[in-house]
Amino acid sequence: MRKMIWLFLVIGLPAAAQELYVFSEPASGMPARSLSVKQTAKVIRDLNAGRTASRHTTELMFGVNRNLMVHTIGTFSDMYTNAQRWESVRLYGKYRFFSKDDLYRHFRLAAFAEGSYSRNKVPFSEVSVEGDQTGVQAGIIATQLLHKLAVSTTLSFANTPLSSRLLSGSTGPLPNNAFNYSLSAGYLLLPVNYTDYGQTNLNLYLELLGQNATDQRRHYVDLAPAAQLIFNSQAKLNLGYRFQLESNMARMSKDSWLISFEWLFLDALK
């Protein structure tokens, strides 16, 4: 990871770094009174069932004030059923409690908490509140922008009660408590010179996403590269591929594709 950070520093692209990560949230929030709408499709190859399945997530994000943002999320999926059906709802809140801004740099800390209700009964050992299971998650995010590089880390705990799980998976009892972590980096590739809000941006990201179950000796580590286009400084198109580096968990799939589109409405909430 350190090698990667140095690589970014050496490349030294001539524009501010990006922290609009595709697979994680930065500590920074949204502008106050803004609204954002995001539609995401996640596509996996279910190796156990030998078929392709997908999840479609609709997310409404509100910048309540300068420090607080709230997301309401709903998902449809055919991951655990034969056909697409309404799968889960989730509420996410993030509060930025520390900010140190300087020219072209900042350090920010935020705390977040979320709760989800899912209709699924999951036979896999991965602990997830992103549609898969009913549960709660809370954690801390730290984001540092250093002129041309933005790195961010998230540390959190997730709990998905056994009532939302099948009692035992194909590999034995399932964990229901987990420690999650992420380390993300991103930079702006294009445009080289910023002169206009109408210029399309191309951002590249690399994220390390991991989980360690705390009640069983099970874990995974994923790597997720992603590309992002930003149109008119207002709409984002994300394309990411997430794959397993290492794991001893029973998972539905070892990799997934993600495509999402997000539209930001500034000053939407008066």
| Eight-class DSSP state of 9 | H
CB of 27 to another protein, least distance (A): 11
Q: What share of the chain is helix, strand, coil (3-state, %, to 5)?
A: 5, 60, 35
CB atoms within 10 A of CB 121: 13
Structure tokens at 171: 């590999």
Sites for another protein among residues 245-264 (CB under 8 A): 264
CB of 19 to another protein, least distance (A): 5
Q: Which of 235, 260, 263, 211 is nearest to 54 (CA)?
A: 260
Choose between 39 and 171: whose C-beta lies nearer to another protein.
39
CA torsion sign, 7 to 12 to 17 to 18? Answer: negative
If binding is defined by CB under 8 A, does position 196 make contact with another protein? yes
If binding is defined by CB under 8 A, does position 50 make contact with another protein? no
Selected from 16, 41, 68, 138, the binder of another protein by CB under 8 A is: 16
Structure tokens at 5: 């950070």
- Candidates 28-36, 53-61, 72-80, 218-226; binding stretch for another protein (CB under 8 A): 28-36
If binding is defined by CB under 8 A, does position 153 make contact with another protein? no
Selected from 234, 239, 255, 261, the binder of another protein by CB under 8 A is: 234
Kindly write down the DSSP assignment for every residue of 131-176, as one continuous string.
Answer: TTS-EEEEEEEEEEEETTEEEEEEEEEEE--GGGB-SEETTEEPP-
Task: Tell me the site size for another protein, rule CB under 8 A.
Answer: 41
Choose between 120 and 201: whose C-beta lies nearer to another protein.
201
Selected from 29, 131, 135, 175, the binder of another protein by CB under 8 A is: 29
The whole-angstrom separation of Cα 44 and Cα 72 is 24
Selected from 51, 155, 202, 267, the binder of another protein by CB under 8 A is: 267
The whole-angstrom separation of Cα 71 and Cα 62 is 6
Selected from 5, 37, 229, 266, the binder of another protein by CB under 8 A is: 266
The whole-angstrom separation of Cα 174 and Cα 125 is 5
- Candidates 162-170, 177-185, 232-240, 248-256; binding stretch for another protein (CB under 8 A): 232-240
List residues near another protein by CB under 8 A.
15-20, 28-34, 63, 65-66, 99-106, 145, 150, 188, 193-197, 199, 201, 230, 233-234, 236, 264, 266-267
